[in-house]
Amino acid sequence: MSVVIIFSQTIGSALGVELTRYATDSALHGNYGLVVPSYVESGLAPAVGYEAVCSVLMVLVQLGLFQAVDQFFVVASTLVVVLVKATGAFMDPLGPTSAAVFARDGAHLEIGWIGGLVGGAIAGYVWRNVLGKE
């Protein structure tokens, strides 16, 4: 089911970005693109590792807050924005994918995808098997 959800979100995001691309003035397109975080320059393995660690943190924060007090993800969403700004990490494959589709530039997408998915899987494992949560 996770694969279906990820596929659906990715296709929906790409279609939404394409519609936005065609609905906006092409002179503005040069101002949007995939932001390449500074840690990418360290090489593929360290960048994927950094992305995975940040993704674990993001997912655990979201799960912990949702279960505790934040059932509408208001606080969790705000913290995710702060984490993205503070760390420079993507922490969600859809962000860089949407930017890459819009800018027609797919450089370094593997970092966001591999790191984000591995980090999410590790966070899910920790949440369920280490912390004993459902």
Q: Which of 23, 46, 44, 21 is nearest to 31 (CA)?
A: 21
Question: What pLDDT sits at residue 31?
Answer: 61
At 74 the pLDDT is 76
- Work out the average pLDDT over 46-61: 87
Q: How far apart are CA 54 and CA 64, in angstroms?
A: 15
Q: Residue ranges of the domains in the chain?
A: 2-130
Confidence of residue 82 (pLDDT cuts 50, 70, 90): confident
In this prediction, residue 70 carries a pLDDT of 65
